[in-house]
């Protein structure tokens, strides 16, 4: 049995799990808000898609880790460690970004003027996934 690709699979899987949970929560909130407002539905849909970016980080790391494993410059044990902990960071970032998107959707439905301001908190949460992504690239 080949355990070499466990690390890349972990980071990809956790990124996608987090993104699906985050987008799912925000999507449910956007559906609820769209039943109460008559216009601007597109902006609620856009907000609900924001946590999907963490799956991209997981995908890129999976590809990079796979190439390093095949080249022999990354050990399978190191790949599992990096995949697990970076995957957790990316996953939780996506989940909490989704929770933040829920409140952003609800707030912007009540006060449309704050729509642009709410991206600050969503961007801050995104930065933690980006930090984990960059640190993983530095480690491998």
> Is the Cβ–Cβ distance between 50 and 102 less than 8 Å?
no
| Verdict on whether the full-model pTM lies above 0.85 | yes
- Mean pLDDT for the chain overall: 94
Backbone angles phi, psi at 7, to 5 degrees: -60, -50
What pLDDT is attached to residue 82?
A: 96
| pLDDT of 119 over the 70 cut | yes
pLDDT tops 80 at residue 47: yes
pLDDT at 17 over 90: yes
Look up the CATH number of domain 6-139.
1.20.120.610
Give me the pLDDT at residue 39, please. 82
How much is the pLDDT for 91? 98
What average pLDDT does the segment 107-120 reach?
91
- Reduced to 3 states, what is the DSSP secondary structure of residue 79? helix
Assess whether pLDDT exceeds 90 at residue 38: no
Q: What is the pLDDT of residue 73?
A: 95
| pLDDT, average across residues 89-104 | 97
DSSP string, 20-68: HHHHHHHHHHHHHHHTT-SS-HHHHHHHHTGGGHHHHHHHHHHHHHHHH
Ranges of each domain in the chain: 6-139
């Amino acid at each position: 049995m080949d355990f070499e690709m466990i690390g890349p699979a972990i980071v990809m899987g956790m990124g996608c799990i987090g993104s699906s949970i985050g987008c799912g929560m925000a999507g449910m909130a956007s559906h609820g808000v769209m039943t109460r407002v008559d216009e601007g539905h597109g902006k609620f849909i856009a907000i609900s898609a924001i946590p999907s970016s963490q799956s991209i980080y997981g995908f890129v790391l999976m590809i990079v880790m796979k190439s390093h494993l095949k080249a022999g410059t990354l050990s399978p044990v190191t790949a599992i460690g990096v995949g697990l902990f970076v995957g957790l960071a990316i996953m939780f970032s996506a989940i909490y970004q989704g929770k933040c998107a829920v409140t952003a959707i609800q707030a912007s439905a009540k006060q449309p003027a704050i729509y642009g301001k709410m991206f600050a908190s969503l961007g801050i949460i995104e930065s933690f996934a980006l930090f984990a992504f960059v640190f993983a690239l530095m480690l491998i």
